[in-house]
Structure 1
Amino acid sequence: MATLENRPHQALVVIDVQNGVVSGGHHRDAVVANIATLVDRARQAEIPVVWVQHSSEELAKESEQWQIVPELKPADGDPVVHKTWADSFEETDLEDVLAGLRVGQLVVTGAQTDECVRSTLHGAIVRGYDATLVEDAHTTEDLSEYGAPPPDQVIAHTNLYWKYHRAPGRTAGTVETKDVSFGK
């Protein structure tokens, strides 16, 4: 259980599923479809969906590259957190948003697996949250020309690593889209 007091609720966190981030993502369409399924299920269960949107030189605010992919749309009232660092908590209002919703348990999806997703998972755990990675709802591009493993291996390694990750008083782990259980 999370180490945060009075935080009994869950939230689905969708990280950087933006045109310029996932256009070259491994199994992009299947991952986006899984995220869409999770968004629908979270909304049906009245679980908040928190969107995270990165901006940088390559992802200029309001540009087409910066926009969330057309298959996914934040609903009116869904929190949208704007960030400029890999960890979605760094210099953002994510913690305030989650505190306001009394959220202590995060279900994490998005991109890029080896940067913003992984950094946010670690950021959540060190801040006292429980953080579950949806193993078939995150992606990354092929960065093997820069020395990284192929994207399928990056994703598999991140899933393996996070499946067994633990911290005192907090839980981590992975789950497939079909097995995600949303509850208040």
Structure 2
Amino acid sequence: MDLERNSVGIGQRPALILVDMIKGFTSSACPLGTDCPEVVAANAALLEGFRARNLPIFFTTVVYRNPDQASVFRNRIQALNCLTPDSQWVQVDSALTPREGEALIEKCWASSFFGTDLAVRLQSSGADSLVVTGLTTSGCVRATVVDGLQHNYPVVV
């Protein structure tokens, strides 16, 4: 059955969430990454548009500070163990470096909401909708979009 859907679009004050646009995923030098300059460039253009309009911007990174964090997932994909606080791989790609006032949220799981204070930060910023971009679409972006909807935000990918 194909149900009728209405487009909800975005609000007057959308927040941009750049999911895991980190060196570990944007560089083939990391076992988790691939060189993807076109993806980085598209995210940079979107980021500049949000900056020009003084809209809320949130970056996420994946950081494992102890062996108990996301242990099942890390056991399954052992390459994730390189995402430690002292690793260059957890840093945002240099073409997208956060500016002062742009939050960098550390996460251990797929969703940018799960186990973080993103929901509180979004509410404090006055965001009324979300634009979600980043890496990877089938995992962390998707999980963030689903949780954004569950927090009652219109979401555009």
TM-score normalized by the length of structure 2: 0.76
Match of 2:54 among 42, 46, 55: 46
What are the ranges of 5 or more consecutive residues in structure 2 without an aligned counterpart? 1-7, 65-80
1:117 pairs with 2:125: no
What are the ranges of 5 or more consecutive residues in structure 1 without an aligned counterpart? 134-184
Query: Does the 8 Å CA contact 2:27/2:34 hold for their aligned counterparts?
Result: no
Deviations 1:91-115 (A, max 9, x none): 1010011000111211111001111
The DSSP-based 3-state class of the residue aligned with 2:128 is: strand
Q: Distance in 2 between matches of 1:29 and 1:49?
A: 21
Query: Does the 8 Å CA contact 1:8/1:102 hold for their aligned counterparts?
Result: no
Q: Percent identity?
A: 30
Q: CA RMSD in A?
A: 1.8
Shift of 1:26: 6.3
Shift of 1:72: 1.1
Query: Does the 8 Å CA contact 1:13/1:108 hold for their aligned counterparts?
Result: yes
The DSSP-based 3-state class of the residue aligned with 1:124 is: helix
Q: Which has the higher strand share?
A: 1
Q: Distance in 2 between matches of 1:115 and 1:80?
A: 19
Partner residue in 2 for 1:10:
14
Q: Distance in 2 between matches of 1:117 and 1:26?
A: 17
Question: Which residue identity is paired with 2:151?
Answer: R
Question: Which residue identity is paired with 1:47?
Answer: L
The DSSP-based 3-state class of the residue aligned with 2:83 is: coil
Aligned length: 129
Question: Which residue identity is paired with 1:9?
Answer: R
Partner residue in 2 for 1:139:
none
